[in-house]
């Protein structure tokens, strides 16, 4: 005589032998990389200093704190609409709606209102977030302590380049009678005015009395020029294209 438990075991064995799946709860479908997204970005102060320990909340998913370079990441985020909140004591908060797409990484650059103290770089390093523009990199800078601008980072340029409108705003002289230097552009060799900017800060690191050339580069949009070696040569420079960082040390 086959008792109940034995009958159940035999019944399951028979179903398997006949190629029929025994009834059981269906497993939840695995969420592979193509079915979820990600959100990553960096948080800086108004004077472009990376903010460590900022509280980043992706409502409906989770929260994270920024690391020492001001960066955060949310992985395996289901596609949908979310709201991102960023807060840090002493700075204005940031709030925005955003969408996450399957198989995509949403990249954000968040600047909180408020000024942070420049980091000490003697004997150390400062990592500055970069923005990608195709194969090029952009960096935020503060000129003369008041004008925030975007530069292309150009380690092959002898001089830092600013536009004529920025030069006028800063009171930089570049009119008739100003000294000139020869530069090579993509299509020509030209002579352009050379002058000095009192202060350039990048990630809170400052260089003073930086030589610049005044020249309007074509099709730059919001970018005002090039951050060249008249600034970069003041530091040991490392470009980290994987993490989109400019590392400066003295």
What percentage of the chain carries pLDDT values higher than 70? Answer: 83
Comparing 46-55, 104-113, 159-168, which segment has the lowest mean pLDDT? Answer: 46-55
Contact 212, 196 (CB under 8 A): yes
- Residue carrying the six token digits 């800086």: 44
Domains assigned to the chain: 33-111 (2.60.40.10), 125-249 (2.40.70.10)
Per-residue pLDDT tens over the stretch 55-77? 999 999 999 998 877 889 999 99
Per-residue pLDDT tens over the stretch 113-136? 998 876 655 456 788 888 888 888
Q: pLDDT at residue 203 above 80? A: yes
Query: If you count them, how many residues does the chain have?
Result: 250
The three-state secondary structure class of 119 is coil
Cα 207 off chain centre by: 22
Q: What is the pLDDT of residue 32?
A: 56
Type and span of the H or E element at 11 = helix 4-17
pTM, 2 dp = 0.59
Q: What is the pLDDT of residue 82?
A: 97
Q: What is the pLDDT of residue 161?
A: 94
Q: pLDDT at residue 189 above 90? A: no
Q: What is the pLDDT of residue 9?
A: 36
Strands 125-129, 245-249: pairing is antiparallel
Q: When comparing pLDDT for 39 and 24, which is higher?
A: 39
Q: pLDDT at residue 3 above 50? A: no
- Alpha-carbon distance 101 to 78, whole Å? 8
Q: What is the pLDDT of residue 231?
A: 95
Handedness of CA 241, 184, 199, 147 (dihedral sign): negative
Q: What is the pLDDT of residue 28?
A: 42
Average pLDDT over residues 21-40: 59
Contact 128, 246 (CB under 8 A): yes
Per-residue pLDDT tens over the stretch 73-117? 999 999 999 999 999 999 999 999 999 999 999 999 999 999 887
Identify the band that residue 17 occupies on the pLDDT scale cut at 50, 70 and 90: very low
Cβ count within 10 A of residue 101: 13
Half-sphere exposure of 243 (CA within 13 A, CB side): 17
- Give the chain's mean pLDDT: 81
């Amino acid at each position: 005589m086959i008792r109940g438990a034995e009958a159940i075991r035999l019944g399951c064995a028979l179903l398997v032998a006949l190629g029929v799946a025994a009834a059981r709860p269906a497993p939840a479908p695995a969420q592979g990389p193509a079915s979820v997204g990600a959100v990553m970005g960096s948080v800086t102060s108004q004077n472009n200093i990376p903010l460590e320990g900022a509280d980043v909340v992706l409502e409906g998913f989770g929260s994270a704190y920024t690391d020492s370079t001001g960066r955060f990441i949310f992985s395996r985020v289901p596609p949908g609409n979310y709201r991102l909140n960023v807060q840090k004591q002493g700075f204005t908060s940031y709030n925005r709606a955003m969408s996450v797409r399957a198989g995509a990484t949403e990249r954000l650059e968040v600047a909180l209102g408020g000024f942070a103290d420049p980091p000490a770089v003697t004997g150390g390093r400062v990592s500055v977030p970069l923005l990608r523009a195709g194969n090029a990199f952009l960096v935020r800078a503060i000129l003369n302590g008041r004008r925030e601008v975007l530069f292309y980072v150009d380690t092959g340029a002898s001089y830092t380049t600013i536009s004529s409108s920025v030069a006028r705003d800063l009171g930089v002289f570049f009119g008739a009678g100003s000294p000139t230097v020869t530069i090579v552009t993509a299509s020509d060799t030209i002579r352009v005015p050379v002058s000095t900017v009192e202060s350039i800060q990048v990630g809170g690191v400052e260089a003073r009395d930086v030589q610049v050339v005044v020249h309007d580069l074509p099709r730059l949009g919001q970018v005002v020029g090039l951050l060249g070696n008249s600034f970069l040569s003041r530091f040991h420079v490392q470009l980290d294209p994987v993490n989109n960082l400019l590392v400066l040390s003295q």
